[in-house]
């Protein structure tokens, strides 16, 4: 494909060509009230966390707002292949959450009640019922499990490409390998950005740079409380298909699913990783993952790991993202801090933020996720985060 020329003046610049920025741009173009939209990506389109994640998409959350939001996002993921005419490897095998402590079990059971009130088919399972779903599981140490058959796993890249192509078809300019190096602000208002190919004038700039968002927001004088955190993941040799759901344990942060190629794809939380943007791989991760996986499924001990890689989580203090306009400078919008779940939220959050930018509202969600919540001391932690 021929490289798009960099326009010198647009209505909206979206900084970051991950799934978040591209979803915002696509939905802005669909709103049709914003005509000149430019996405700037400093590298290739799947270079950030959006091209490196596990593709888990779930509606099992512990707050009503997140459950309802993710119900809508799941629907958008389901429709994506038809809407964008691209294969997405959407596999609706459900999510099986395991609880290994009484406190975690009580919290999961309470969240199931909430999810059922919202219309989800989630149910609480005794350990032997979890083993009926995944016979390789060792039931010892599991207090209870929860299962929503409608949760899913996808292959991430087609969503990034699909939004990019869909946005381009609607008139958005998507420029990869163009780095934003500054944000121009005058008299308390955004005026545009500086880039590796020169300036671009724009009254609205959206910061959707994932773990690099604090650096870009700082150029506009805005301090973000988020920070990058390396998260590692790996894929095994292909195995005969045996695993339907994605299995996740909030006690140790283990998660694994089986891809359509038969690979076990999984990771585990690692609080020992120092903050920073090093996205290298480590043997320490493999040891930690192997220990957690074998505790869950001892019979998987002989499985070989073929590939491992890492990406950056954009950790926010309460695990919830930071989305919406800032008070000053006018014209600056944020969409970052998605921790380990920004991929699944991107379709619906992109739609809501695009509506807000186009002046068509964005709902109470954007109040809940405003940056100013930290100053007001209103942070509301969500319990079901694989951090």
Query: Mask 219-248, x = binds ligand FAD (CB under 6 A)?
Result: ------------x-x---------------
Instruction: Between 147 and 255, name the residue whose CB sits nearer to ligand FAD.
Output: 255
Give min distance, CB of 135 to ligand FAD, in A: 24
Rounded to 10°, the helix 342-357/19-31 angle is 30
Nearer to ligand FAD, 88 or 127 (CB): 88
Chosen residue from 94, 162, 253, 311 binding ligand FAD by CB under 6 A? 311
Minimum Å distance from CB 83 to ligand FAD? Answer: 19
The Cβ of residue 126 has, within 10 Å, a number of other Cβ atoms equal to 13
Contacting residue, 10, 12, 14, 21, with ligand FAD by CB under 6 A: 21
The window from 41-49, 110-118, 137-145, 183-191 that contacts ligand FAD (CB under 6 A) reads 41-49
Q: Is residue 217 at the binding interface for ligand FAD, with CB under 6 A as the rule?
A: no
d(Cα 176, Cα 41) in Å, to the nearest integer? Answer: 5
Among 31, 41, 151, 184, binds ligand FAD (CB under 6 A): 41
In whole angstroms, the minimum distance from the beta carbon of 350 to ligand FAD comes to 9
Determine, following the binding rule CB under 6 A, whether residue 158 of this chain makes contact with ligand FAD: no
Choosing from 49, 96, 248, 264, the residue that interacts with ligand FAD (CB under 6 A) is: 49
Task: Provide the mask over 162-191, with x wherever binding to ligand FAD is found by CB under 6 A and - wherever it is not.
Answer: -----------------xx-----------
Of 280, 265, 285, nearest in space to 310 by CA: 280
Of the residues 168, 212, 288, 351, which one makes contact with ligand FAD according to CB under 6 A? 212
SS3 string, the chain, reads CCCCCCCCECCEEEECCCHHHHHHHHHHHHHCCCCCEEEECCCCCCCCHHHCCCCEECCCCCCHHHHHHHHHHHHHHHHHHHHHCCCCCCECCCEEEEECCHHHHHHHHHHHHHHHHCCCCCEEECHHHHHHHCCCCCCCCCCEEEEECCCEECCCHHHHHHHHHHHHHCCCEEECCCCEEEEEEECCEEEEEEECCEEEECCEEEECCHHHHHHHHHHCCCCCCCEEEEEEEEEEEECCCCCCCEEEECCCCEEEEECCCCEEEEECCCCCCCCCCCCCCCHHHHHHHHHHHHHHCHHHCCCCEEEEEEEEEEECCCCCCEEEECCCCECEEEEECCECCHHHHHHHHHHHHHHHHCCCCCCCHHHHCCCCHHHHCCCCCCCCCCC
Of the residues 25, 48, 125, 144, which one makes contact with ligand FAD according to CB under 6 A: 48
The answer to whether residue 266 forms part of the interface with ligand FAD (CB under 6 A) is no
52 lines the binding site for ligand FAD (CB under 6 A): yes
What is the nearest approach in angstroms of ligand FAD to the Cβ of residue 45? 7
Of 27-35, 123-131, 288-296, 305-313, which segment contacts ligand FAD by CB under 6 A? 305-313
Which of 208, 332, 355, 365 binds ligand FAD (CB under 6 A)? It is: 208
| Number of residues located near ligand FAD, criterion CB under 6 A | 39
**Residue selected from 209, 268, 354, 365 as contacting ligand FAD according to rule CB under 6 A:** 209
Q: Judged by CB under 6 A, which stretch of 4-12, 26-34, 47-55, 182-190 contacts ligand FAD?
A: 47-55
Binding of residue 145 to ligand FAD (CB under 6 A): no
| 195 exposure class (CB count in 10 Å sphere: 0-12, 13-18, 19+) | buried
Contact positions vs ligand FAD (CB under 6 A): 15-21, 40-43, 47-50, 52-56, 179-180, 208-210, 212, 216, 231, 233, 267, 311-313, 338, 340-344
């Amino acid at each position: 494909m021929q490289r798009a020329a960099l326009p010198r003046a647009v209505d909206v610049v979206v900084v970051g060509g991950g799934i978040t920025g591209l979803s915002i741009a696509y939905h802005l173009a669909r709103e049709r009230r914003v005509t000149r939209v430019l996405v700037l990506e400093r590298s290739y389109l799947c270079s950030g966390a959006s091209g490196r994640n596990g593709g888990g998409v779930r509606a099992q959350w512990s707050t009503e707002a997140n459950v309802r939001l993710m119900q809508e996002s799941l629907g958008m993921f389901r429709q994506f292949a038809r809407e964008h005419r691209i294969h997405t490897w959407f596999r609706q095998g459900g999510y099986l959450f395991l609880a290994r402590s009484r406190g975690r079990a009580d919290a999961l059971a309470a969240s199931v009640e909430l999810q059922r009130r919202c219309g989800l088919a989630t149910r609480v399972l005794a350990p032997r019922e979890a083993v009926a779903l995944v016979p390789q599981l060792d039931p010892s140490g599991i207090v209870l499990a929860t299962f929503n058959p409608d949760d899913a796993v996808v292959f991430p890249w087609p969503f990034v490409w699909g939004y990019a192509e869909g946005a381009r078809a609607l008139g958005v300019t998507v420029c990869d390998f163009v780095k934003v190096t500054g944000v121009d602000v005058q008299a308390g208002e955004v005026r545009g950005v500086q880039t590796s190919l020169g300036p671009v004038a724009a009254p609205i700039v959206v910061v959707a740079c994932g773990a690099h968002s604090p650096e870009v927001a700082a150029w506009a004088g805005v301090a973000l409380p988020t920070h990058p955190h390396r998260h590692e993941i790996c894929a095994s040799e292909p195995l005969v298909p045996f695993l339907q759901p994605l299995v996740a344990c909030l006690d140790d942060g283990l998660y694994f699913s089986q891809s359509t190629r038969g690979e076990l794809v999984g990771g585990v939380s690692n609080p020992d990783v120092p903050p920073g943007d090093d996205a290298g791989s480590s043997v320490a991760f493999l040891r930690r993952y192997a220990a957690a996986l074998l505790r869950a499924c001892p019979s998987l001990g002989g499985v070989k790991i073929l590939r491992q890689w890492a990406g950056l989580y954009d950790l926010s203090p309460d695990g919830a993202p930071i989305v919406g306009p800032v008070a000053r400078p006018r014209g600056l919008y944020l969409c970052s801090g998605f921790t380990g779940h920004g991929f699944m939220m991107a379709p619906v959050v992109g739609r809501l933020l695009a509506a807000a930018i186009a002046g068509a509202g964005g709902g109470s969600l954007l109040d809940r996720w405003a940056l100013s919540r930290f100053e007001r001391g209103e942070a509301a932690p969500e319990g079901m985060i694989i951090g």
